[in-house]
Structure 1
Amino acid sequence: MAKNYDALAKDILDHVGGRENVIDLVHCITRLRFRLKDEGLADDNYLKQREGVVTVVKSGGQYQVVIGNEVPDVFDAVNRVGNLAGATTTETVNEAPKGSLFNRFIQLMSGLFQPILGPLAAAGMLKGLAALLAASGFATTSGTYLLIQAAGDGLFQFLPFFLAYTAAKKFNINKFTAMAIAGAMLYPSLINPTTGHPLYTLFSGTMFASPIYYTFFGIPVIIQSYYSTVVPIIIAVYFASKIEHWLKRVVPDVIKLFIVPFGTILIAVPVSILIIGPVMTWAATGVGNGLISIQHFAPWLAGALIGGFWQVLVMFGLHWGLIPIAINNIMTLGHDPIIAAAFTPSFAQIGALLAVMIRTKESKVKQISIPAFISGLFGVTEPSIYGVTLPMKTPFIMSCIAAGIASGIAGFLQFKVYVMGGLGIFGFLSLFTAKSGLGNLYVGIFATVLAFVLGFALTMFVKIPKLYETEAMAEENTPLQVHESVTTPAEKLNIKEIIASPFAGKLLPLSETPDPVFASGTFGKGIAIEPASGELLAPTNGIIQFVFPTKHAIGMLTENGTEILIHIGMDTVQLEGEGFTALVNEGDEVVAGQKLMMVDLEFIKQKGFSTVTPIVVTSECEDTLPTGEHEVNAGDYLMTILR
């Protein structure tokens, strides 16, 4: 029968100031990590003496109650007895991104798109294949074309569904509740009303004039298409997460299963559509009218602004304010300069991407970049933007600058399109007609080549940041031989087990570890190392007991039955897995010297965390005899375990 930790949980909660004093709670491998409104309300002395609690540590803005191996069970008990809102394990909780608003936005977008990059790149290539079929003479009404186009475009059309899922993980909300909200925002009858005439026009005669086809309890609903958009669903899921967390606090457990999602969807869908719809519509209208006004007196400036900010406008869904104007221009004038200015950004984007492909040493970036480049040729740049250039920031900025310059020059040369064609290489078909001649086509070729070259050249001369720290992973992940020096002490001491160093770096006694719990030996005897290289190797033969969800700790059971914990850095659980790339999973059999993980040490240091790594024996042992060396290579003799 499982041990009941409810009494301990209630005692801990009472002595950290009560539920009302808790902002949120996560746990790592040994500790409950509270964020408290007022740490002064916590009773340190009581908790340190309380049976079941090892000690208390205050670090990094957290109030840490050290429990030991039973922490997952105690964590669940605290959540249960305290009914804490939004409490979660470290696998799903996310600390607020740090840095400027721009950096925080990019971190958020990168995190949301990371899980779908592979399918996104594949879908982009399928869209390119469909465009190739259309250009080759396939009827766009044929089954062959429609199936391939649907296979590629389906993900992009219903992108909010995918982002709802990843945003739900980010904001700690039920994933299927988030997807239900996305489904409502994409509901065909909602965004494409079947009634022929609006009930009335809101703000008639102004730039914010909006036709109203239906109302919600008398409140006008402004129609906005959310297909292929990014930001609206993220905002909606974030808002829904706040509702869900509140409902979890106030709804009785007996009806929580269905009332919480019911209330969340009931509130989030109308509020999101009633607020996001008008804001997006009016913002898009304002952007469209502003750019058209500039177009009248400075075509080059309008071209530069549209080209430079087009990818950003699409990201927020604000480009919809330009589409009706462009269609009207083509219908009345026979040509349009607005969409023409949006022709160069995809070429600037793949130019920047090519520079990244050439300069990066990260194998994963290259794997993403190749299909992203192919789809980018056909005007599908989402894999490139969200997979590579936007997370790296500087390549994305360089591509925007390149597109702005190229579109500005094209605007000065009165560049235009004659039909609403596609982007990418097949978009050239929209640049001329039998009557227009080829002059406009030549301008288009010049502008796109210029955008590509500038995007490439500018990116070649800026620093390319690392995304995954995977250079070493490109090498074959084969077991390495432990250095011969490992076996020497065994012959002399007739002991149980020899442990090799998992990292190269400087050694220090466990007592000098910058963490009082490890330094006191509470979790076991061992040694610490300050890594000089990010390659983590298996210290001996054995089985991986666990890889913590945030990748900052690995537990191993050696072939002789010894349990070893490798805890990479101090408080690195707060990084939520960033900077860590695990190469093994729970239950894997490993041999000494095998690569277990790649760690981005510079990233960890930049985030303000220590990289000092304790290697401790968590099972019973008489003693550990560390090496007398002050610095070791990975695989060198580290310590002997006496059992």
Structure 2
Amino acid sequence: MNNSQIGESILEGLGGPENISHFTHCATRLRVTPQSNAAIDKTKIEKIPGVLSIIEQSGQTQVVLGDKVEGVYNEMLKLPGMSNLGGGTVDANTEHEGNKPGILTRVFDVLSDSFRPLLWALLGTSMILTLIVFLQQFGFFGQYTDLTGQVVNIDIVNGPRLSDPEAAAAMLNEWRAAFPFWFILLAASLSVLQFMPIMIGATAAKRLGANMWVGAAIPAALMTGTFQGFQDIAVDGVVQVPFFGLEIPLYVFNYTGQIFPPLFAAALLAPLERFLKKVIPTMLHMVFVPMISVMILVPLTAFVVGPIGIRFALGISDVIGNVNEVAPWLVGGLIAGLYLFMVPLGLHWPLNAVMINNLQTMGTDFIQSPMGAYNFAVFGLVTGVAIRAKNNKELRQTATGAAASGLLGGISEPSLYGVVLRYKRVFPLILVPAIIGGATISALGVKSYAFAFTSLLSIPAMQPSALYAIGLAIAFFGAMAGVLIFGYESKTQRAESDAARTAAVSTTDTTESAVAPAAAPAASVAAPAAAATVGAATSAAAAPWASDSETEIVLSAPLEGRAIPLSEVPDPIFAAAKLGKGAAIEPTGNTVVAPAAGKVTATMSSGHAVGLKLDSGVELLIHVGIDTVNLAGKGFDVKVEKGQQVAAGDVLLTFDPAIITEAGYPLVTPVLVTNTVKFEDVTGEVGPVALSDTLLKITTK
């Protein structure tokens, strides 16, 4: 499917444009705030090719698409009814059905939604800065003698390190004259970082339902030369402003690159705008609503909101920084380990804000470099899965694509949702090397000089790069080795995969007759109903599987008990018919028999399941209990061998219900047609069933 077709299918599963109140995307996911959760068909969306996962979080429906998200998003905007929804705002007064997210969750959502529109420009310009830092590292611009008397590489990003400020300014001008083109590129690389408050003010205001350009104007006012001119008369950074006989302190900060002041200002702008629109006549909105908003919020931000925002950012950075000074390995290990849990929940965005603040205020950051260890541990793991998943073509393709997009683009979500969250057994295989790699990176003093998704291409943004690469190698190869040694599937998943693979054998044995021998052994007539005729012309002895007509195959129950729909099985794989359609039995007996003649295609060493290829062409999997593979054969007695021919009523295995129940495993037994795709439909009966009663009806194509 192309992006347009994927978009159409997703929109249909979301309930159409009329069910969407907010629609945006990030680097890997479509993010939708629905009017009604009940109108969304998650199962339908999950089955769309290209969709890695769909999750409900914070009142949002998130469709994980990986690196194709932007293409699908753009195509969806072209669909009828969608043009006005792209990047749209959410009216704070509008509520949708379902659980309303908590305040902290909503704060994180606004924070992340405010950053996402800037990622494209932020990452692009940061990669230019990465290139310049890389060239500086190799002495591309030449060398000079710094204040310590050492000969060092020219650093056009931070300027010359000289004790005399006038001499430093003169040398910097010499560099400008010698490398004008590179200074232009340096300006391009710093553009988003330095003017981040204006951009964040716009995106945050839009997200909250306010006018985005008014949201941009408020922080822009504090970045003008007029406001910054207060620094010339400030005493210890403070100007006393007379106000109705009082003197109010104005803290004169440099707002360049700040994140939290424009966010806090936008949070005040949204309710203020709504109030003004209620009390001011509509014909006067365009002039007086923005005018009054700016007149109120610029001073309020200058006196109160701005200083609070700056101190808030500095407080977070100082806490982490103080720990980093004492035990850098601890900070690095914690960051690398926690990211595995923070990214799926969207809790990593506040740390991203602190990273950007550190880069702008200090020129470097100590959080982003150990975070790279988490990314490379994930990329190493999916690389190992791609190598090991020889018999799973779909998984191998998913893992290969996720590893490529991660190593080259630094995006971990395709790996996370395509592999990691499907096989939670791999969490320790990621955590251990990530923590060790992150601790190593921080202990070696590696810092980032640009905001970038950590990938092979962004390694030069971290300095010293060679030491950074050591930590990444520990994380990547440690995780890859872990999955190659220990695997990625749990015992249950491995057993289910083996059963499905062996039960779904290809029908290459064309020499076998479509019906059983003329007479079944005398000991094999325990299921007389399974010996009905195929049409009026075929005798029971000639076909030990029943048919109401030439287009329907009827199979009797292989086990006594109560038949229930497959959807009621307490296992998502069986319940969703991932291994094939069928039915399930809550057993009252303890003997599993062949429902018709055929050949045994699989027997498990744990004895809990048997695969059959019936003479009718039906491939059957009978799985006694859920997670019973963990019993390692205890309580099971298999009576047949792989490749053995069986007749209707032959005993396949027996089991001890008491042992299974005492171990805490459900007894419910799925009976699946693993080659369902070869038939028109498979339906199951419900209610009490004996060995002679019908369980499945299979309609042929």
Structures share fold, TM-score greater than 0.5:
no
Larger Cα-atom Rg: 2
TM-score by length of 2: 0.40
Provide the TM-score with structure 1 as the length reference: 0.43
Larger RCO: Structure 1 or Structure 2 (Cα < 8 Å, ≥ 6 residues apart)? 1
